[in-house]
Chains A and B, each alone.
Chain A
């Protein structure tokens, strides 16, 4: 089955800095790569996604990149704000989604 590795497990940045979270996957059949943000006490919420026929996608301060050859994809958050503090999960989807173990992002004011 699919295996997704996510790094780093924790990330602390100063407000205004950029944050990058990286994931690798194993199953070449995976064709959809969503990212979720989970705030304390809530369920994960989809924030951005990318399909296998696209290399990069941007939505305001967040962007995702995908390298199918190397089987890795990344989440980039620019101009971070304290409200970006949360746990972020990547996932690789081949019929159903397999999740990474999550990254706890802390943005210090």
Chain B
């Protein structure tokens, strides 16, 4: 089992550019989410999904879009990158019932210059 796979691992963007961070899981988890991690600020929820076709906003959704067309994939789109979006991004997934802990990907380190 690969678990949660995130690509790319590192990315440098120029201000105003757009890009998509990929997240895929092979555990048939219903719940998927995106977090950003900044120094001293822990993990902040950007967007989450409880199943294909269903998405909702988290704590810091501005500047980001998501979609969930399949159970396995949950891409995060940056529409027009800003230096404030420089961060480490983690995708996490879990079963809805339980509840249970999250399985995290290894992260994408994004720098916006």
Q: Please give the residue numbers on chain A whose beta carbons come within 8 Å of chain B beta carbons, in ascending order.
A: 1, 6, 9, 31-32, 34, 36, 41-46, 49, 89, 93, 96-102
Query: Which residues of A sit under 8 angstroms from B98, Cβ to Cβ?
Result: 32
Q: Does B40 contact A (CB under 8 A)?
A: yes
B41 & A101 in contact (Cβ 8 Å cutoff): yes
> Could you give 14 example pairs across A and B, Cβ below 8 Å?
A6-B42, A36-B101, A41-B107, A43-B90, A43-B106, A44-B104, A46-B101, A46-B102, A46-B103, A96-B31, A96-B33, A96-B48, A96-B58, A99-B43
Given known contacts A96-B33, A96-B48, A97-B102, is B42 in contact with A44 (CB within 8 Å)? no
Tell me the smallest distance from the CB of A29 to a CB of chain B, in Å.
12
Given known contacts A42-B106, A43-B90, A44-B90, is B42 in contact with A100 (CB within 8 Å)? yes
Given known contacts A31-B99, A93-B99, is B104 in contact with A45 (CB within 8 Å)? yes
Give B65-102 as 1s and 0s: 1 = Cβ < 8 Å from A's Cβ atoms.
00000000000000000000000001010000011111
Query: Which residues of B sit under 8 angstroms from A93, Cβ to Cβ?
Result: 99
A43 & B42 in contact (Cβ 8 Å cutoff): no
The distance in angstroms between the C-alpha atoms of A46 and B102, with both chains bound, is: 7
B104 & A43 in contact (Cβ 8 Å cutoff): yes
The distance in angstroms between the C-alpha atoms of A6 and B40, with both chains bound, is: 11
Tell me the smallest distance from the CB of A58 to a CB of chain B, in Å.
17
A102 & B42 in contact (Cβ 8 Å cutoff): yes
Query: Which residues of A sit under 8 angstroms from B31, Cβ to Cβ?
Result: 96
Query: Which residues of B sit under 8 angstroms from A102, Cβ to Cβ?
Result: 42
Tell me the smallest distance from the CB of B7 to a CB of chain A, in Å.
14
Query: Which residues of B sit under 8 angstroms from A96, Cβ to Cβ?
Result: 31, 33, 45, 48, 58
